[in-house]
Amino acid sequence: MEVPLVGGSSSTEETGCPKESLVVIEVKKQLYLAGPLITGCLLQNVVQMISVMFVGHLGELALSSASIATSFASVTGFSLLSGMASSLDTLCGQAFGARQYHLLGIYKQRAMFVLTLVSVVVAVVWAYTGQILLLFGQDPEIAMGAQSYIRWMIPSLFAYGLLQCHVRFLQTQNIVLPVMASAGVTALSHVLVCWLLVYKLGLGNKGAALANGISYLANVSILAIYIRVSPSCRSTWTDLSKEAFHDILSFMKLAVPSALMVCLNTGSLAFMIPFGLGAAISTRVSNELGAGRPEAARLATRVIMVLGLATGVSLGLIMLLGRNLWGYAYSNENEVVEYIARMMPLLSVTFIFDDLQCVLSGIVRGCGLQRIGACVNLSAYYLVGTFRQHYALPLSTILAGWY
């Protein structure tokens, strides 16, 4: 395992317990983290899914425009911000393990500052989404519809970046239940917000897009209040510090490769389950390395690989068995439903490798090796994928695991 980025005093590994007992303890730790994190990831991202569902019942053109806009927003904005925020998995995780608690608040403020600046740049790109899609040969009517939808999503971009910083700040301290609870409250209320904006106020697809920003802002507000008042964060949250505006370059050296690792593998709501597992293992590895316990980090790695394989197989089976039902969530058009059903058998296989790749990426983040992870993902998804598309994801898994 890599030398921790934040120095902590080396501690003696746990001895005297049977190996089986250590494995059981580690499984419990990871399930305690992974369960709420997976649920939280799903609930955070189901917000956009609900908006698209509302738009889908406004017509086929509205659905096509909203779907393309959401995909474009995910690749160019949301996954970028989520990836950059995941650098906190390394920084905050190792600082917490090394008991340098004051650094967590500084790292969080630094990430919030950088991600806000990045959001400004992305917002400018989003404003010209229609022209960009036209350059790639998209139908003009759909392209302009996507541009209108994504422009109303710009407020959600800024809220989402701040949300990810708050989530990582809590996650690396093993505080995960509030993350799940706040995501659950906002996901449930998002249905009402969409209904009010889309139907009662008559905003149509623009209302669905705007609802994303309202829900993400509510989510980040709940977490911000919790961090401010909770005794659990008393030693880690600090008031605004000038140190947050220093050493930006070092943060970017982790944030950029972290963003590449996520952006090179982002696709669907199903991705949130392995993403949650990856978040759990990055916390476990970074905490143990920061505390000077590399053997515990290795054990955590072995356990998460088994959990990742099990969830990948389970998810693939669920998608396969329900292939004739998923399409109705988005559209009443039989052609759309049948097309989704035909794709599911192939996609169900990729979910297995996707799970393993995501947990391996989490291990890499916990070790602070984002640059290597980004190079592996780039090679497997794009350089190899250009010629052997069906083998790109398995190769990414093999290369990351081999390293």
Per-residue pLDDT reduced to its tens digit, 214-254 = 999 999 999 999 999 999 888 888 778 788 888 888 888 88
Q: How many CA atoms does the CB half-sphere of 221 hold within 13 Å?
A: 8
Crossing angle of the two packed helices 205-229 and 19-56, in degrees rounded to 10: 150
- Contact predicate 6/290, CB 8 Å: yes
pLDDT of residue 263: 66
pLDDT of residue 302: 82
8 located within any domain: no
pLDDT band at 270 (very low <50, low <70, confident <90, very high): low
The separation between CA 106 and the C-alpha centre of its own chain, rounded to angstroms, equals: 22
Residue 100 to residue 364: CA distance in whole angstroms = 22
9 located within any domain: no
pLDDT band at 191 (very low <50, low <70, confident <90, very high): very high
172 located within any domain: yes
pLDDT band at 32 (very low <50, low <70, confident <90, very high): confident
Please count the structural domains in the chain. 1
pLDDT band at 363 (very low <50, low <70, confident <90, very high): confident
Q: Is the pLDDT of residue 267 over 60?
A: no
4 located within any domain: no
97 located within any domain: yes
Residue 31 to residue 11: CA distance in whole angstroms = 24
352 located within any domain: yes
What percent of the chain has pLDDT above 90? 24
Locate tokens 């969080």: which residue? 108
186 located within any domain: yes
13 located within any domain: no
**Residue 169: which residues within 8 A CB-CB, separation 6 or more?**
88, 92, 104, 105, 107, 108, 227, 236, 237
User: What rounded mean pLDDT belongs to the chain?
Assistant: 80
- Contact predicate 151/68, CB 8 Å: no
**What's the domain range around 233?**
19-402
| 3-state percent breakdown (helix, strand, coil) of the chain, nearest 5 | 80, 0, 20
Q: What are phi and psi of 173, to 5 degrees?
A: -100, 10
